[in-house]
Amino acid sequence: MLTTLIDILHVFVCGVLMFVVLLQQGKGGGMGAAFGGGGAAQVFGGRGAGNLLTRTTSICAALFMLTSVSLAYLSSSGDRAIRARVALEAQKKAEKGTARPKDTAAAPAPSGAPAPATNAPEAPSSAPAPAPAPSK
């Protein structure tokens, strides 16, 4: 909804900016003379419409730049979300591909046979068994 509002404002400001620029009287007269630019001095005062049109042009140009930057930012935010999702999927695929192979010693023993101890250190076969602690 925000993007739609900024789009509408952007198009409106663009139209006003074009109109105001074309109304200004340039060296060759421009379209300002075609719309009675010579009579603008009587309507807008002794100095003519120069100050009003110049201010209007500046305000419209600033609004046009602001809406342009806003639309570009809002448009790229969708790109960032897509890139983040693609990176997350690539990370999941990488983790799936680098999984360690199953340890054969840690596999469950067949029924009826005792499971081997995998975390206990192996004692050398020639060493005697430790003596039990004396009871008190």
Over residues 59-81, the mean pLDDT reads: 90
pLDDT number for residue 7: 94
| Of 97 and 33, more confident | 97
Token pair, residue 121, equals 């250190």
- Give the Å distances, CA to CA, from 23 to 12, 38, 47, 60, 61: 17, 11, 15, 14, 15
Residue 79 has pLDDT above 90, yes or no: no
| Of 45 and 80, more confident | 80
pLDDT number for residue 82: 84
Residue 74 has pLDDT above 80, yes or no: yes
pLDDT number for residue 44: 54
Q: What is the distance, to the nearest Å, from the Cα of residue 37 to the centroid of all Cα atoms in its chain?
A: 47
| Of 70 and 38, more confident | 70
